[in-house]
Structures are given as structure tokens and as C-alpha cells.
Structure 1
Amino acid sequence: MLHVDAPSTLDEQVERLAAESKARAIAIALHDLESGLRFSLRGDRWFHAASTIKVAVLLSVFRAVDEGRFRLDDSLHVRNRFISVADGSPFYL
């Protein structure tokens, strides 16, 4: 597990955590719509969405439930093949 030790800047903290994780590449882009806070560290770098797409799928399902199009106990078929918006290549979760 990675621990944070009060670095002097958020950039330095993220870089240190990335080095400790031995990740091949990292990037962060954040925009808090309530506070207006923005942060970006290599935020213009493209990555495959990978498992982050699950959040969008769940959000869509919950919205459909709110609109009465589905119920939480309905079975839904979800494809496990996506086309990358980064480079058009197929990938699987």
C-alpha cells in the first residue's frame, strides 16, 4: 500500500506515488464542478479507459432506473468489447 507523507506539492506527491507503484505511465485530470478546482498532471495524455468505463455504465443504469426504464433487479446484457476513443482499437475488460 502507498502512503502519503505531506509533500510540498501535489505534483511531487503524485510523481512519488507513481514511482513507488512502478507504473509504466500515469496521468491525472480533475475538474470539481462544485468548487471549480482543476488539477492536471499530463492530463492531455491518452489512455484506454479500461475499468473506468464501469463507472459510466453504472451511472447510465442508475439513470435509467430513475427514469423508470429499468428496475434494479432487471437483468441486462453488457458487452465486454469496446472500441478505444484513443486509437480506435478494440479492447476487453
Structure 2
Amino acid sequence: MTRMKTMTTVACATIATGLLFSAASASAQESANDELNACVKKEQIVTTAKGAGIGALTGLTAMLATHKKDDAVKGALIGAAVGGVAGFATAY
């Protein structure tokens, strides 16, 4: 696989993940109402978990697509961390 094709694959995976997060908007805010706060907390947990899952899959796919199977776990962990942060950020 050529270097240009590898870079294109990684760029496409990154853009696809970014578009996914920008399309999924959860508008949660803190409130004085305990019931609403519980709902906000749940939304934060759910969006963080979704982001981490999507990030892990994207990182794993990117490493496998670039034939770097030795770095697949590292790619999945980095993707999960970035996806989790992005997921948590979208809960606000």
C-alpha cells in the first residue's frame, strides 16, 4: 500500500469520526432540579461511552487498514480516549 493511500485512509477515518460527533448533538445543562441533574449525568455517561466505542472502532480500523496490526491495540486505545473526550464534550 502506498504512503499516499495510507494517509488518505487515515484522513478519511478521522473525518468520518469528526462528522459523526458533529452530527450527534446532545444539549444537556446543569439544573437545580435533582431529577434533571440525574438525566444530565446519565446523558454524559451514555455519550462518553458511545464516543469511546466509536473512537476505539475507528482507531482499530485505521490501524488495520494501514496494515499496522502490531499497533492495532494502541490505535484502539487512543481512539477510545479521544472518542470518550469528544463524547463527553457533546453532552453539554
- Same fold, TM-score > 0.5, yes or no: no
Going by fraction, where is helix more abundant, 1 or 2?
Answer: 2
Larger radius of gyration: 1
Going by fraction, where is strand more abundant, 1 or 2?
Answer: 1
Higher relative contact order (CA 8 A, sep 6+): 2
